[in-house]
Amino acid sequence: SLDKIPTWREDNYSDGREDGNVLTGTGGLSEKVSLYKGDITVLELDAIVNAANSSLLGGGGVDGCIHKAAGSCLYDECQTLNGCETGKAKITCGYDLPARFVIHTVGPVARGHVGPTETNDLTSCYQNSLRLVKEYGLSTVAFPCISTGIYGFPNEPAGDIALNTVKSWIEENPNTITRVIFCVFLETDFNIYKKKMSIIFEDN
């Protein structure tokens, strides 16, 4: 199914952006990222990331969707993990999901407040998830908009953190990940990511 998700570069190409800058150069960062709007549980990738809570035993939002689609074996494996601290990440099998693995990370409970703690914790979620992708020799991964639902992290700064953290990671680890998919669910996030990606992943 990855073939059906265009890279950011292809996506810009197909919607005929007038600013051609993002299309220049080869092997740029924009070839390694995609923006996808929809349900993360249908993605056939090496791993999908779950915006979990510290119990790792399921909940609402994307977490509920992932547990429902993966089946009860995911819950059983999660029970062996002894939870997870905010900003950290743990990996399990994907079970009935098309994704091979699920990386469970726990975002900060922000309730609308963005201070240094919330910022650092959300950054750590992306970094620690990507660290697991690398450690397990995986090459494709999708992220939901961690913390921006029930945990109340404002969408705009959360998008900045997601995109900039992934960008830095790809730059620092050029031979590990071949594709990172930003899986947004809401129109507001789609618009925020689209705008930011054309700036952040513009190739020089």
In the complex, the residues that contact ligand AR6 under the rule CB under 6 A are: 39-41, 51-53, 59-63, 65, 107, 144-151, 183, 185-186, 189
Joined together, the tokens standing for residue 27 give 């092997």
CB 177 within 8 A of CB 131: no
Closest CA to 174 of 65, 32, 47: 32
Q: What 3-state DSSP class applies to 117?
A: helix
Work out how close the CB of 135 gets to ligand AR6 at its nearest, in angstroms, rounded to a whole number. 23
Work out how close the CB of 55 gets to ligand AR6 at its nearest, in angstroms, rounded to a whole number. 8
Work out how close the CB of 53 gets to ligand AR6 at its nearest, in angstroms, rounded to a whole number. 3
Q: Which is nearer to ligand AR6, 19 or 111 (CB)?
A: 111
Residues with Cβ within 8 Å of 132's Cβ and at least 6 positions away in sequence, in order, are: 47, 89, 90, 91, 103
Joined together, the tokens standing for residue 16 give 């005929």
Q: Which is nearer to ligand AR6, 29 or 143 (CB)?
A: 143
Q: Which is nearer to ligand AR6, 28 or 59 (CB)?
A: 59
Q: How many CB atoms lie within 10 A of CB 178?
A: 15
Work out how close the CB of 21 gets to ligand AR6 at its nearest, in angstroms, rounded to a whole number. 29
Q: Which is nearer to ligand AR6, 64 or 174 (CB)?
A: 64
